[in-house]
Amino acid sequence: MSGLVGTFLSHASPGGFALGDLFSGALLNVALFEGLLGGGGWPTQLRHPAMLALLLLLIPLIWWHHKRQGDGALTYSSLSHRARLSPGRRLPLAGRGRGLWRLHLPFYLRIAALALLIVAFARPQRGLTWEQDLTEGIDIVVALDVSGSMAAEDFQPNNRLFVAKDVVQSFVSERAGGDRIGLVVFAGATLVKSPLTTDRAMLRQLIDSVELDILPDGTAIGMALAAGAARLKDSAATSKVMVLVTDGVNNAGAIDPASAAAVAEGLGLRVYTLGVGTDGTVPMPVPMRDPRSGRVVMQRRMVEVEVDEELLRAIAGRTGGRYFQATDPESLRRIFEEIDELERTPIEVKRYVRFEEAFQPLAWTALALTLIPVLLATLGLTLQP
């Protein structure tokens, strides 16, 4: 091996066929091969990798080539040199540096072609991979109370509705992409803000647009359950869930909560109920008329509020859900995180890989490298084809 290295270095003379030229040519071939792949990417596997062992045979071929040529001497047999050189006489080393590449270039082009053919016989292949998600999503309807009591400011530094909207936003963002989520808001009446959808961006905008005083005041829990059930009754999802967020007592609507819960149970819906805030006196902005100016201004007063925990527990128990109570922003966030964990569907993904042959660029490049010496000899640029 050291002799072979010495042979290479002996021919790295100025103007001769240098080892650096060989490396430059190899880099050029790499760039050419990458272009021939047509942007399809490099092969990901070799079908017969053992074929690469044949590349080792190229080492003795290179050694034999330089051994046969001696010190790289050129033997001229043309008539134009007969008068000055006897048959078989070699040109002095000092006079043949400029033409040495003509002797070695055809050989190394063929060596490169043979190397490419060996790699081609190893059958490089590109793997085309795609995945099929077989998970069936969950359909979820969030029913959010927007009655006047949601303006209570016991969830400092904001009111109950502001904190509830922020937590629902996080809940929506963290759900799996296959889940469909709808939004119903309610007070003394109900309003479907969004049907079941997977469009998270649109849903977040709709949640952000929810405000107080967009519906008649009151708390129609039964109507909210009925509206959510109407959104879910035609769902083909294996799991249908409703999350009811309220802070009051049912005092409005034509449908009583018990009847609505029975309908939800019959449709196979699971209802999670959240009681927001604590019973008792809480600060709340109340519209008051200024006696001096006559204008209506908001003043903070301590107001008595009540959460019907017994009703919310009954609704959740009848439908197979759970009741939670949130007395501060952090507990509300933890409750939604717990619901998020309870309603998870195992993900089943099938991975498919299809391999396609990638030896063609190698074979065509090898053919081109084989024909180049013939072309160079035809043009008189090299001494032999």
326 shares a domain with 196: yes
pLDDT above 80 (res 344):
no
* Token output for 108: 């190394």
pLDDT tens for residues 186-210? 999 999 999 999 888 999 999 999 9
Of 84-98, 226-240, 352-366, where does the model show the most confidence? Answer: 226-240
Based on its alpha-carbon atoms, the radius of gyration of the chain, rounded to whole angstroms, reads: 41
372 within domain boundaries:
yes
Please count the CA atoms within 13 angstroms of the CA of 193 that sit on its side-chain side. Answer: 25
Mark whether 67 and 166 lie in a shared domain: no
* Band of residue 269 on the pLDDT scale cut at 50, 70, 90: very high
Based on the fold, state whether residues 223 and 367 are members of the same structural domain: no
Q: Is residue 351 part of a domain?
A: no
Let me know if residue 95 belongs to a domain: yes
Task: State the pLDDT at residue 194.
Answer: 93
Residue at 14 is within a domain: yes
Q: Same domain for 337 and 360?
A: no
Is residue 349, in this structure, part of any structural domain at all?
A: no
Report yes or no: 230 and 186 within 8 Å, Cβ to Cβ: no
**Does residue 383 fall inside a structural domain?**
no
Rounded Cα gap, residues 152 and 300, in angstroms: 9
In terms of domains, do 278 and 221 share one?
A: yes
Does 33 share its domain with 164? no
Mean pLDDT of 129-156: 80
The answer to whether 101 and 41 have CB atoms below 8 angstroms apart is no
Instruction: Give the predicted TM-score (pTM) of the model.
Output: 0.56
In the chain, the number of structural domains is: 2
**24 domain-assigned:** yes
Average pLDDT, the chain: 76
Statement: residue 111 has pLDDT above 60? yes
Place of tokens 């969830």: 155
153 plus 207 within the same structural domain: yes
Asked, for residue 347, whether it belongs to a domain, the answer is no
Report pLDDT digits (tens) over 16-50: 333 334 333 433 343 334 444 444 556 667 778 88
HSE, side-chain direction, 13 A CA sphere, residue 75: 9
User: Tens of pLDDT along 294-336?
Assistant: 787 777 888 887 888 899 999 999 999 999 988 888 888 888 8
Q: Are residues 62 and 31 in the same domain?
A: yes
Say whether both 336 and 361 belong to one domain.
no
Give 255's pLDDT tier (boundaries 50, 70, 90): very high
Least confident of 45-54, 156-165, 342-351: 342-351
What domain range includes position 6?
2-130+356-378
Co-location of 207 and 234 in the same domain: yes
Helix 360-378 and helix 100-121, axial crossing angle in degrees, nearest 10:
160
Q: Are residues 261 and 124 in the same domain?
A: no
Does residue 181 have a pLDDT over 80? yes
Taken as a whole, the chain contains a residue count of: 385
What is the pLDDT averaged over residues 255-277? 92
Structure tokens at 305: 């509020």
Task: Evaluate if residue 88 carries a pLDDT over 60.
Answer: no
The pLDDT score that the predictor gives to residue 351 is 62
Distance CA 273, CA 243 (A): 6
235 in the same domain as 122: no
Supply the pLDDT for residue 76: 46
CATH no. for residue 276?
3.40.50.410
Contact present, 101 and 17 (Cβ < 8 Å): yes
